[in-house]
Structure 1
Amino acid sequence: MALFFLQPMAFGAWLALIPYIKETLGLSKSDLALALLGMPIALIPTLQLASRIVAKIGPRKTFAFMLPIQTAAVLLPFMASGVVSLFLSLAVLGAFVAFLEVALNTYAGRLEKSADLHIMSRCHGFWALGVMAGSLLATVLIVVGPALGVFLVAAMSALIGVWAGLSLPRLLGEEDNASVKPQRLREMPKALFVISLFVLCVTMVEGAMSDWAAVYLAERWGGMSEDAGIAVSIFAGFLAVGRFVGDALRRRYGAQAIARLTVSLAIAGIACLILPFGVAAVFVGFALIGLGVSVAFPLGISAAAGLDNTHEAQNIATMAMIGICGILIGPPLIGFVAESFSLRAAFMCLIPGLILSFWLSRIFSRQ
């Protein structure tokens, strides 16, 4: 859980300063959307490679190697001089983040099954807290310089994260998973792809809010772009709240019920953003969306791990890959629509996917 908190702090610091980068480089919404494509274009194909390497060397060594590299990579966007260089810098960052995401979710999925625990939602709650803490610290530390502030956040989290990673216990049978022959696409269970599609539609909303919440608030609020980072903090904070209570709600009401409840909250939150209400409703909207997208990814990881005892690592990696695609594809799509219309109109485009997720939630057990 400490690693789930520490790993995304650097990412959260970067998210809070997206408006600063946009203003500094003089980017339009479409320019920024194009640059943001760098992360998914690099991360998505890297995930499959990462799943094989993580299976071979183990999550502990992955954390030890990749957290320091992430600290260096997160500084690259501040060295960008335009759209192309920003795109390339985010592509490098996305490639290294892929290894850390696979390591986190694979270890947590194996632990949940081997110890017969419900911890996935809380683990991802700590991930959301890490994003929130990183964005808050970066906003406060902007007085020492944007790049230096992000570096301090990333370096501190990496230093502690390396120690935490190397302290993880070795799980029983962990080495056996590296020798299991991978499934071919046609051999994978169909339920895995239904689960993944449910998660994809929800994580597109999560990604859109992560990257565009601060920009949207800056437009509605009319204040300093640096202050608009509070939007990311509100969203991530309520996302964390939803994940911390998610395991208890799942035990009491079942996965299907909690999936439908949270997706409904996300739809209500987007309504608060797009309807002509005041700024207070915008804050409420970010909070509701945070709660609404909170448990989809943890539910998906747990469900994927439960499909197969032999190929659980590959199922987890596949579901995580598709889910992370939503987080990273959502922001540039929102940017392109916003450039042609508005951010309000772009947020409206997220609602059909959420309705589809509500229908697909039937894949989850009622138990």
Structure 2
Amino acid sequence: MLDTATRRRRAALFVFMLVSGVGMASWVARTPAVRDTLGVSTGGMGVVLFGLSTGSMAGVLLSGPLVRRYGGRAVMWAGAAVLTAGLAVVAGGAAGSLAGGVFVGLALFGSGLGLAEVAVNIEGAAVERRIGRPVLPVLHGCFSLGTVVGALLGLALTAARFPVGAHLLAVAGLTAAATVWAVRAVPAGTGREAAPEPDAEPKDRLAALRVWRDGRLVLIGVIVLVMAFTEGAANDWLPLLMVDGHGVSATAGSLTYTAFAVAMTAGRFAGGPFLERFGRAAVVRTSAVVAAAGVALVVFSPSPLVAGAAVVLWGLGASLGFPVSISAAGDDPRGAAARVSAVATAGYLAFLVGPPSLGFLADHVGLRPTMGVVLALLVVAALLAPALRPRVRPAAPEPSPPAGPEAARLLDDGVGRP
């Protein structure tokens, strides 16, 4: 039975991820409309998306050190404030057809998202260890559920030709209210470490980098890079991929992204029993293969209907890689915050920085062939999946049996006889 404080803490993390997903999907679902409003090419849209990438890079790189210094709750407060402000600035830039304004708003939004979500993952790993059951897949499932809500709202407003600026401004208000409630229920101090002494050796100040000396953690980092890149590629490009690559309408592009988000959500909420029965390695290997099948159909199928249906495989396959990798990084409570922070940082960098770079390649070969990069990386993740198995520690040696007169006395007392 969970105590009230733990239940509230878990619920607060779920709500925080839910509204973050609503904010992300609200932007993604309206990218075709924003592209048309700004009047930029696919490559130009890639430049605008680098606002999200650069902000996210700054946020995730700062988040781990800030959590170690101030604790997860303080970093969540900062992240919530910045991402809400970013959504409001994006709304203003879209309303005024200002590409620079959208770039700046995305940079702020990405910074807040990177700051907050690394802290949330550290909090989630702590709750998972506390209750002894999977939490991170459901936590990320809440993010995916938020993307479903945001995508459905975006689909409806796209069909109704509702102004993008007003839409995103309303989402910013919702995000502000929900995150204020959620962060208040998170206890202070998780992940905080003692500050180094002023005369500490430089190697002590670089303790966060030492976690990468662990070969298993490096392999986990590669897996999370691939799976986060796979998810991020869909978040950044799926509506445009369907519109430009398969010739569907903007509304149909938003509907396809909604199907992807629903599949991600289903995979994360349903993943717990499969993880408990088959283990992390088998589940992530299968997930990578399923995602690869979905991406391959989207890339190579000439039929928009087949490609649209295949995004369900893409979403199901990409759903568990990130949260399972975070869980694996946090297996050992000693130094767990540093390892979770390192892997989460790698994942968010891949999620938010890698996919926009695909826009430059797409300008030369098209979006569909460009997604072959994702396909190749998924093969790597499938091969490395065994690294996610829990590390087996050697068993303590059994005590030696007594010898001499002491042994004879124990045998006379009946100890040690069958």
Give TM-score scaled by structure 1 length. Answer: 0.91
Counterparts in 2 of 1:19 and 1:292: CA distance versus 1, 3 Å: same
Task: Determine the structure 1 residue equivalent to 2:5.
Answer: none
d(CA) in 2 for partners of 1:226 and 1:71?
Answer: 26
Shift of 1:84: 4.6
Indicate yes or no: 2:154 matched with 1:138. Answer: yes
Q: Provide the C-alpha distance between the structure 2 equivalents of 1:57 and 1:226, rounded to a whole number of angstroms.
A: 44
1:1-367 to structure 2, matched below 5 A, reads 1-78=14-91, 79=93, 81=97, 83-142=99-158, 143=160, 144-169=162-187, 174=189, 177-179=192-194, 183-188=207-212, 189-220=214-245, 222-306=247-331, 308-365=332-389
Q: Is the 8 A contact 1:205 1:330 kept in 2?
A: no
Distance 2:191 2:253 in 1: 48
Distance change (3 Å), C-alpha of 1:201 and 1:175: closer
Q: Does the 8 Å contact 1:7/1:100 carry over to 2?
A: no
- 1:48-94 CA distances to partner (integer Å, 9 max, x unpaired)? 32223234443334444432442221132341655554433322221
Letter of the structure 2 residue corresponding to residue 209 of structure 1: A
In the TM superposition, residue 146 of structure 1 has moved relative to its aligned partner by: 1.2
Matched positions, count: 363
Q: Which amino acid aligns with 2:135?
A: I
Q: Deviations over 1:296-328 (max 9, x none)?
A: 10111101111x423211111110111111111
Once the 2 structures are TM-superposed, how far is the Cα of residue 285 of structure 1 from its aligned partner?
1.4
Pair 249,75 (structure 1): closer, same or farther in 2 beyond 3 Å: same
Q: CA deviation at 1:361?
A: 0.6
Secondary structure in 2 matching 1:297: helix
Q: CA RMSD in A?
A: 2.2
State the structure with more CA Rg: 2
Q: Percent identity?
A: 26
For normalisation by structure 2, the TM-score amounts to: 0.81
Higher relative contact order (CA 8 A, sep 6+): 1
* Structure 1, unpaired ranges of 5+: none
SS of the equivalent of 1:117 reads coil
Structure 2 unaligned regions, length at least 5? 1-13, 197-205, 392-418
For 2:308 and 2:329, locate their aligned partners in 1 and report how far apart those are by CA, in whole Å. 34
Distance 2:362 2:247 in 1: 18
